[in-house]
Structure formats: C-alpha cells, structure tokens
Amino acid sequence: MTKDFEQIYEKYANRLYAAAFNICRQQQDAEDAVQDALLAFYRSDKTFESEEHIKAWLLRVTVNAAKSTKRLFWNRNRTSYEEYMDSLIFEEPSDRTLMDEVLALPEKYRIVMHLFYFEDYKTKEIAEILKLSENTVKTRLLNGRKILKSKLEGWEDE
C-alpha cells in the first residue's frame, strides 16, 4: 500500500490528537505526540497492508509517544504559572506585580534581570554563566529596566 502523507494526515490527525490528548491532558504534549507519530510514519519504510493497518500503527505510535511524554520528569513535576506565583511569599502586594512584569519581559532581558536582582550575581558572573560579553549583559539590564519603567510608570502612585 502506498503512503500518501497528506492524505494520511488529513484522515487521521484529529483522531491521533484526540487519543494523545486523552493521555497527556495537555494540548502541546498531545500535539507533540501526534507530530512524532506522523514524522515516524513519514520516515518509515514499512509496508502497510491496508488503511486499517496504517491507522492502527499510527495510533500505537501516538499512544506510546503520549505515554512517554507523560512519564517525563518535567511533566510529572509541572506546575502552572498561577500555582507557582501563589506559592511565592511576597512582603508587599506590589512585589507580586513587579514579579509579574519581570516574568513578562522578553527572555533575553528576563534572564539577566532575574540573575542580577533575584540571584545577586554580578554582571561579570552573568556573562560567564550565559556565555555573553559583559557589555551585552549590561545592555540587556539597561534595556530590561527601560521596559519595566515604561510598564510601571505611575505604578508607585497606586
């Protein structure tokens, strides 16, 4: 039986997603499992006897990929952003707002801001950790502060 990938995708992608989601209970993980299964199918040189054989094979690969994803340490220990923020203890309610804004920064600024302000690393140490020049770290700190300042203008008055 020949493998027309587009036709197989159109026919089975939704069913595969439903099976994966039933196991993972996470949209991204289910999508990853389906992608893994379809990629395995695309790369496979296996000869399939019938449409039913293809469907069964895809479902088996999808279910195995979803189960593997669910067993990962990351997935067993994942917590939502809200749960994480609720678990932190803030001295002032405004500290949570500040933390929310820092976490909303683009990653390149967020990381250096976190290391500098929350972990008390020096710019030279941050540069070594992130394999960046010290000037790049200083620039990212400056730009991160500018972004925070613009977002938090008038915040102290409240």
Other beta carbons less than 10 A from residue 35's beta carbon: 16
Q: And the tokens for 78?
A: 């994942």
Q: Quick check: 32 and 72 in contact, CB under 8 A?
A: no
Q: Quick check: 25 and 54 in contact, CB under 8 A?
A: no
Q: Quick check: 8 and 56 in contact, CB under 8 A?
A: no
Q: Quick check: 124 and 89 in contact, CB under 8 A?
A: no
CA neighbours closer than 13 Å in the CB half-sphere of residue 48: 17
Closest CA to 138 of 150, 122, 152, 114: 122
Band (151; pLDDT cuts 50, 70, 90): confident
**Average pLDDT in the 56-77 region?**
80
Average pLDDT, the chain: 83
pTM above 0.85, yes or no: no
**Average pLDDT in the 5-18 region?**
89
Other beta carbons less than 10 A from residue 33's beta carbon: 28
d(CA 111, CA 114): 5
Domains and CATH numbers, the chain: 5-76 (1.10.1740), 81-152 (1.10.10.10)
Band (133; pLDDT cuts 50, 70, 90): very high
| pLDDT beyond 60 at 67 | yes
